[in-house]
């Protein structure tokens, strides 16, 4: 059973040297992960909080296909409109695991929320930039066409504040010598953004899938301004858990990640079927929109030094510059990569077909 809450490439990677990430600390298992038993099924009941986006397909498919059950997990999924609600669920203990954008997660950890990134939900472990699931869509009659980032100046942009979509928008504006203050941000959920675009109450939306695909399908005259295409932004969806839960349930955390990795292997090889599964979970998501949206998400949950450097070199400076994080922040303080690295080593078959992680970027 599941509960649905109505909602709502390739360039050289950034150098790893000299970024001061404390990678040695990441490579050293925490007290919790040091005691992990051999990878295998467990017996536990868990709740997973997922954002109502196509990114959650790996969770939805794991439940649909009985993969969580194979790993001894009695799993329930709750769907939330944004990552803010997801983090609240995990921090309060109402959910044991969640998926959220890296922007709000790092901001919250810097302010004391006791959460840890344990894997990517979608992203890439072989590059230090990623924004493939995000896009900007302009409404009809705005005069903003494909590639016209400069045309956003002075326009109303619908975006969910305190989400990664704001950082994505800013990374593109900066490339065109514009600032966030050069546009008017209108706070709204991703689903409401599509409605606002149709009603012409905003000129464009900056958001993540499946909402760009929904806008292009449902808003007559809308235009895709840009999709992904930011090499100065590393914005994976991340899987999180609370520090206390990881300390007390290390074997469950590892089994959970193994189940998700197995599910992602299925998703990558069966995109049409996985998209259909997602429509059963995301309110208002229709088949054709899901089929387009899922092609713009890279289901690579592996951990590598490039994941760490992408967050440190792109996400953290953005958060510091906008005042979301005060002072210097070491991204390793928000991560425990040892659980996922254990899965990568024990179940390499779950990652077949993905580009190999360069040896120099592998975590021990």
What one-character DSSP code corresponds to residue 187? E
CATH of the domain at 87: 3.40.190.10
Which residues in 38-72 are b (16+ Cβ under 10 Å) and which e? Answer: ebeebebebbbbbbbbbbbbbbbbbbbbebbeebe
Q: Provide the pLDDT for residue 32.
A: 35
| 300 inside domain | yes
Q: End of a domain among 210, 227, 244? A: 227
Q: Provide the pLDDT for residue 23.
A: 43
Residues in the chain: 364
Please answer whether residues 119 and 48 qualify as being in contact, where contact means their C-beta atoms are separated by less than 8 angstroms: no
| 14 inside domain | no
Cα distances (angstroms) measured from residue 124 to each of 129, 130, 239, 316, 325 = 8, 7, 14, 18, 24
CB count within 10 Å of CB 268 equals 18
| 8 inside domain | no
Q: Hey, which residues does 74 pair with through a beta bridge?
A: 45
Mean pLDDT in order along the chain per 10 residues (364 residues): 33 34 41 45 94 91 96 96 91 96 89 96 90 93 95 96 84 90 95 94 94 94 93 88 96 96 97 96 89 94 95 88 84 95 95 96 94
Please give the span between the terminal C-alpha atoms of the chain, in angstroms, as a whole number. 38
DSSP annotation string for 198-239: HHTSSSEEEEETTHHHHHHHHSTT-EEEEES--TT-B--EEE
Helix extents (H) in the chain: 23-27, 31-34, 57-64, 67-70, 83-92, 102-110, 164-175, 190-199, 211-218, 243-248, 250-269, 271-279, 287-293, 305-310, 316-321, 338-346
Instruction: Check whether residue 222 and residue 239 sit in a common domain.
Output: no
Q: Provide the pLDDT for residue 207.
A: 93
Q: What is the number of domains present in the chain?
A: 2
């Amino acid at each position: 059973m599941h509960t649905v809450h109505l909602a709502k490439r390739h360039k050289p990677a950034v150098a790893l040297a000299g970024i001061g990430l404390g990678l040695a600390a990441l490579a050293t298992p925490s007290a919790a992960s040091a005691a992990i038993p051999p990878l295998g099924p467990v017996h536990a009941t868990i709740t997973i909080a997922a954002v109502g986006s196509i990114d959650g397909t790996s969770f939805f498919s794991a439940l649909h296909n009985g993969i969580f059950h194979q790993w001894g997990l009695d799993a329930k999924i709750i769907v939330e409109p944004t990552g803010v609600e997801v983090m609240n669920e995990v921090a309060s203990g109402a959910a044991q695991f969640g998926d959220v954008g890296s922007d709000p997660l790092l901001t919250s950890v810097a302010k004391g929320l006791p959460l840890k990134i344990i894997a990517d939900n979608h992203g890439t472990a072989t590059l230090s930039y990623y924004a493939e699931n995000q896009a900007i869509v302009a409404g009809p009659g705005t005069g903003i066409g494909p590639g016209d980032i400069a045309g956003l100046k002075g326009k109303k942009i619908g975006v969910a504040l305190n989400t990664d979509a704001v950082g994505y928008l800013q990374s593109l504006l900066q490339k065109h010598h514009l600032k966030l203050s050069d546009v008017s941000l209108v706070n709204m959920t991703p689903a409401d953004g599509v409605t606002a675009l149709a009603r012409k109450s905003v000129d464009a939306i900056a958001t993540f899938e499946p909402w760009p695909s929904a806008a292009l399908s449902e808003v007559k005259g809308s235009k895709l301004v840009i999709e992904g295409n930011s090499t100065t932004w590393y914005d994976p969806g991340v899987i999180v858990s609370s520090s206390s839960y990881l300390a007390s349930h290390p074997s469950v955390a590892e089994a959970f990640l193994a189940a998700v990795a197995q599910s992602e292997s299925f998703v990558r090889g069966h995109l049409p079927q996985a998209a259909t599964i997602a429509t059963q979970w995301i309110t208002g998501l229709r088949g054709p929109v899901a089929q387009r949206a899922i092609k713009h998400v890279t289901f690579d949950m592996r951990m590598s030094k490039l994941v760490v450097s992408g967050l440190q070199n792109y996400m953290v400076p953005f958060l510091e510059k906008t005042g979301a994080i005060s002072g210097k922040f070491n991204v390793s303080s928000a991560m425990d990569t040892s659980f996922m690295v254990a899965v990568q080593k024990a179940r390499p078959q779950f990652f077949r077909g993905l580009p190999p992680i360069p040896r120099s970027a592998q975590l021990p």
